[in-house]
Amino acid sequence: RLGPNVVCRCTGDMVRAISRKHHIADILRTTLANDGFDTHYQPIWSIPKRRFVSAEALCRLDGTEFGSISPAEFIPIAEETGLIVDMTYLTLGKVCSFVKNVRDEHPDAPLECVSVNFSTILFMQNDLAERTLGIIEDSGIDPASIKIEITESTLVSNLDTARSFILTMHEAGVQFCLDDFGTGFSNISTILELPLDIIKLDKSIVWHASERERDGDDFLKHLISAFKAMGSEVLAEGVETESQRAFVERSGCSLIQGFLFAKPLPAKKALEVIGETGRR
């Protein structure tokens, strides 16, 4: 590809990296065929309600020949190979069963909804809305128990498809969350016109802004007020310290997701944590 008379040398490290990637793609294929992905749930805390109210479903790949593989490594491979499409439907189905189980077996649990991540690649599928709604409806749960997370970069690169998907699903009762806000350069007016129930501030923004607040940087506070005025709740991701917590509380965020409150946990453990009250 570089033209005639060009010789490329592959170092051992490059060969190992490429081979690991192919290997992980194989592991993903096998795991998918065996329904073998684990789904963890990270509890989400409501500041005004002073309790956990929801959770984010996060995919896990443990016990492979490489040990635990981080989503930061396997999700991009799943996206490149297209495997993310079926992985997402599988995860959505598991999340629906989890919610169904909570509704049937623990009707008093304060879990209002669970969110699922939808990658950009899904927006290339013509039957996205149909399949997504099919899975939710087949499970028999209230669609309002499901929240779909779309990243800011998906919105920027697929605005029309994403908008029509959001509008169709929202009509059926499904909620939406804009993930990784602050990393994708979206047009604020675009965000404001979509029915987004939650705007998630990316952890990089939370960490940066909480350090800079002393210098009088209250831009974020104004932005949060604007989102609230349009009817979206603002969630701060990546809250790890008490000072970050104090900052996001003062800034007007109403939801917190971070290691200070809870890590992603297996379903049963997450439900126990969500049920705990008055400890924080």
Residues in contact with ligand C2E by the rule CB under 6 A: 42, 58-59, 70-72, 75, 84, 88, 91, 117, 119, 179-180, 203, 238-240, 257-259, 264
Sign of the Cα torsion 132, 135, 137, 140 reads: negative
Q: Could you tell me whether strands 38-46 and 51-64 are parallel, antiparallel, or unpaired per DSSP bridges?
A: antiparallel
The binding track of 104-123 with respect to Ca ion, each residue x by CB under 5 A or -, is: -------------x------
| Structure tokens that stand for 159 in this block | 């605005």
Member of 40, 59, 77, 149 binding Ca ion (CB under 5 A):
149
CB of 72 to Ca ion, least distance (A): 9
Torsion of CA 39, 43, 44, 50, to 10 degrees: 160
Give yes or no for a contact between 239 and 258, defined as CB atoms under 8 angstroms apart.
yes
The binding track of 166-205 with respect to Ca ion, each residue x by CB under 5 A or -, is: -------------xx-------------------------
CB of 45 to Ca ion, least distance (A): 15
CB of 125 to Ca ion, least distance (A): 19
Q: Which of 77, 99, 91 is nearest to 39 (CA)?
A: 91
Residue 238 interaction partner, one of Ca ion, ligand C2E, none, beta carbon < 5-8 Å per kind:
ligand C2E
233 binds Ca ion, rule: CB under 5 A: no
Residue 91 interaction partner, one of ligand C2E, Ca ion, none, beta carbon < 5-8 Å per kind:
ligand C2E
Which whole-number Å values give the CA distances from 32 to 27, 67, 172, in the listed order? 8, 17, 28
> Judged by CB, which is closer to ligand C2E: 205, or 239?
239
Stretch that binds Ca ion, among 64-72, 106-114, 131-139, 233-241 (CB under 5 A): 233-241
> Judged by CB, which is closer to ligand C2E: 13, or 127?
127
| Residue-wise burial string across 80-93, b where 16 or more C-beta atoms lie within 10 A, e elsewhere | ebebbbebbbbbbb
Give the CB-side neighbour count of residue 116, counting CA atoms within 13 A: 27
Number of amino acids touching Ca ion (CB under 5 A) = 5
Q: What residues contact residue 230 under an 8 Å CB cut-off, 6+ apart?
A: 192
Residues that bind Ca ion (CB under 5 A): 117, 149, 179-180, 237
